[in-house]
Structure 1
Amino acid sequence: MPTCDHCDAHVSEGFARVFTDDGGELRACPNCSANAGIAEVSRERAYQSQI
């Protein structure tokens, strides 16, 4: 079962398929970010990890 790379919570296969980035990272999930902002949080965390 896939997990969030930020908080290590389990997520569904479908959720991982939609929100995993091109590098295979799942940087946000409903457990560690607001449902309405998962994509934005994911992009922000990806950006911050590159700095």
Structure 2
Amino acid sequence: MPECQNCGAFVTQAYARVFTPNGMDRPRVCPHCEDLVRDGAGVRKARSTRNN
């Protein structure tokens, strides 16, 4: 089961397939990582907060 590299939360295979770069098997951030977004090869603090 894939896990988020940042928080360790479970993500589905479909989420990992869509949001993980080629050659990687775990996403860098997930929906559970509040205020973090993918930025190129890294992760950065979001410029605005997420509204759920």
TM-score category of the 2 structures, normalised to the smaller one: 0.5 to 0.7
| Contact 1:26–1:42 (Cα < 8 Å) also in 2 | no
- Tell me the SS of whatever aligns to 2:38: helix
Which runs of no fewer than 5 residues in structure 1 stay unpaired?
Answer: none
Count of aligned positions: 43
Stretches of 4+ aligned residues off by more than 3 angstroms: none
Deviations 1:1-51 (A, max 9, x none): 1000011100000000000112414111011036xxx7xx11267166xxx
Q: Does 1:16 align with 2:12?
A: no
Which runs of no fewer than 5 residues in structure 2 stay unpaired?
Answer: 45-52
Question: Larger Cα Rg: Structure 1 or Structure 2?
Answer: 2
Q: Greater helix percent: which structure?
A: 1
Q: Which moved more, 1:6-15 or 1:23-32?
A: 23-32
Q: Greater strand percent: which structure?
A: 2
Q: Which amino acid aligns with 2:27?
A: L
Q: What TM-score comes out, normalization by structure 1 length?
A: 0.64
